[in-house]
Amino acid sequence: MKVIKTGDKTWENRHETFVEDIQDLYELGNEDALDALDSYNDATKGFQNLISEAIATQTPLRSLGGGWSWMKIATVNNGIMLDTKSLNTVFNVSTNSVSATYTGNTANLLFAQSGNCIWELSKYLQQKNRSLKTSGASNGQTLAGAVSTGTHGSAFDFGATPEFVVGLHLIVGPDRHIWLERASAPVVSDAFIQSLQTELVQNDDLFNAALVSFGSFGIIHGMMIETEDLYLLETYMQRMPYDDSLKAIMQTLDFSTANLPCGNERPFHFSVLLNPYDMDNGAFVTTMYKRRYQPGYQPPVGNAAGIGPGDDAAAFMGTLTEVAPAMVPLLVNKVLGASLTLFEKQFGIHSEIFNNTTLRGKLLSAAVGFSIDNVNQVAQLMLDLNQEVGPFTGIFSFRFVKQSTATMGFTRFERTCVMELDAPYSDNTYSFYTQVWQKLEDANIPFGFHWGKVNELNPDRIASMYGAAADQWVAARNKLLDADSMKVFTNPILQQWGLDTVLP
């Protein structure tokens, strides 16, 4: 494996919201002189050597994905960060590599090095007439980064990105790497295990814990994912009265009597955006419907501001700036007027609809997941809070997603609503966030924080949110990593969250 030591002493995330002191940034790459499999296995050995050196020098180590997180998940204060984006080989999976007991369609399987960006995978899959099942609104994250933080998308009958992962190749120490999959859903054959020169571990609890592990379970070298046939999305954005009819859909996801662009057809994606400074004109409602792929369609086009059908509020809210409180409503309305254009019947494949990698302005973004049973209570709480302690220089966005199987997936409710709060970078935004969390807790509304977005997690909050699941996650980490490796893969934020416990 190629290892380029850049000598960088600081690292800044993509959203430019923090700079971290580091010992060095290593840029990693596959060996060009080797074939794909030999190069992959050579990278495995390279990772093990790096872990061995880190243990010997007591240096923290962390894999870096696309750098999209607002939290310091990928950073190691005075440690070494590993830029994995050039480790982006993909492998088609043959029947010889698949267990005879695998219940899915082998044609759907794709094995990918974890440095692949979501956009890279989508481009590759399109050539094969296949598609990812879901993604976030942005597609600049690496595969490992998106999955490891529980990036949620809005495919509410499917789930978040961890749900398309069926196998993980984990480098857990200097002398051990494993293939981890569920015992209840075997995927790979002995021949596959031998080709990676690895150890097979089939355990549901360990797999579910490792899915959302934010770089703390060692290094994810590769992932086996399930894809599906290429499909089109038929997309709409309209203004609708924020009335009992819309509120009922938000709280039940029952579309049987819905008056949406395709009548009562159940959408693939459903989201609602509330502008607290223009409620008389109703909510912005986005719906997307899955269609059989057919060539010859007109690809989606962005509006004059460059905002496309799948972009979320983060795509444009960074253009806001802090102004005097009295000016906030005017500014928010002005930005929305310039950024949001209603549209109908725009078609595109998944990667064309959810394709934003453009960052506009210095942005903060927070997101919390809670049961759809509480969505209307939360929405009213937000409108009231904005009157009490605002004005918030932003909007309230609600997206919906199926429950995650990941032990620490924040979309942990049977039907989860994810409320996103995007706003300009400022102390006022942070202050408003803090009051939101307190209001939710005061109202006894269970919720979870998006791991990669702004949050104020601590051991007490994690215990309250996840209960025994947090203990199971810690136990799984202790089972997979030895004490020396756990030290290497422990960073300040894991300690802040109280998830760094070493069990006797």
Query: How confident is the model at residue 130, as a pLDDT?
Result: 97
Q: Which two tokens stand for residue 102?
A: 């695998």
pLDDT band at 361 (very low <50, low <70, confident <90, very high): low
CA-CA distance, 467 to 127, in Å (whole number)? 44
Residue 421: DSSP 8-state: E
The DSSP line for 166-220 is EEEEEEEETTEEEEEE-TTS--B-HHHHHHHT-EEEE-HHHHHHHHS-TT-SSEE
What pLDDT sits at residue 79? Answer: 96
Is 60 in contact with 54 (CB distance < 8 Å)? yes
Q: What is the pLDDT of residue 17?
A: 86
Residue 49 has pLDDT above 70, yes or no: yes
Confidence of residue 459 (pLDDT cuts 50, 70, 90): very high
pLDDT at 315: 59
pLDDT band at 319 (very low <50, low <70, confident <90, very high): low
Instruction: For residue 299, count CB atoms less than 10 angstroms from its CB and return exposed for 0-12, middle for 13-18, buried for 19 or more.
Output: exposed
Arithmetic mean of pLDDT, 99-126: 96
Rounded to an integer, the average pLDDT of 327-340 is 85
Q: Would the CA dihedral through 468, 455, 446, 166 be positive or negative? A: negative
Residue-level pLDDT at 309: 76
Q: What is the pLDDT of residue 3?
A: 97
C-alpha distances (whole Å) from 124 to each of 107, 229, 232, 239, 298 are: 14, 13, 16, 36, 21
Angle at 255 between CA 154 and CA 313, to 5 degrees: 30
Is pLDDT at 269 greater than 90 in this prediction? yes
Instruction: Find the mean pLDDT for residues 59-82.
Output: 90
318, pLDDT greater than 80: no
pLDDT for position 304: 65
For the record, the structure tokens of 422 come out as 């995007």
Q: What is the dihedral of CA 122, 127, 131, 132, to 10 degrees?
A: -30
Kindly state the average pLDDT of the residues 418-424. Answer: 93
Give the torsion through C-alpha atoms of 195, 198, 199, 204, to 10 deg.
-90
Whether 116 shows a pLDDT value over 90: the answer reads: yes
pLDDT over 90, % of the chain: 81
Residue 259: predicted pLDDT = 92
17 or 109, higher pLDDT: 109
Q: Which pLDDT score is estimated for 312? A: 64
Of 51-55, 134-138, 240-244, 441-445, give the lowest mean pLDDT range.
134-138
- 257 has pLDDT over 70: yes
Q: What is the mean pLDDT of residues 338-345?
A: 88
- pLDDT at position 434 over 70: yes
pLDDT tens track for 365-400: 999 999 999 999 999 999 999 999 989 999 999 999
| pLDDT score at 356 | 64
Confidence (pLDDT) at 337:
84
pLDDT averaged over the chain? 93
Contact 223, 143 (CB under 8 A): yes
Mean pLDDT on 221-231? 98
pLDDT of residue 305: 62
Rounded to 5°, the CA angle 360-363-364 comes to 155
pLDDT category, 295, cuts 50, 70, 90? very high
Contacts of residue 443, Cβ cutoff 8 Å, sequence gap at least 6: 377, 381
Q: What's the confidence (pLDDT) of residue 210?
A: 98
pLDDT reading at 194 higher than 60: yes
Average pLDDT estimate for 434-441: 97
Task: Give 183-192 pLDDT, tens digit per residue.
Answer: 999 999 999 9
Tokens coding 54: 């880190």
What domains can you pick out in the chain, each with its CATH number?
2-229+476-497 (3.30.465.10), 231-450 (3.40.462.10)
pLDDT above 80 (res 360): no
Give the residue with greater pLDDT, 337 vs 264: 264
pTM of the model: 0.95
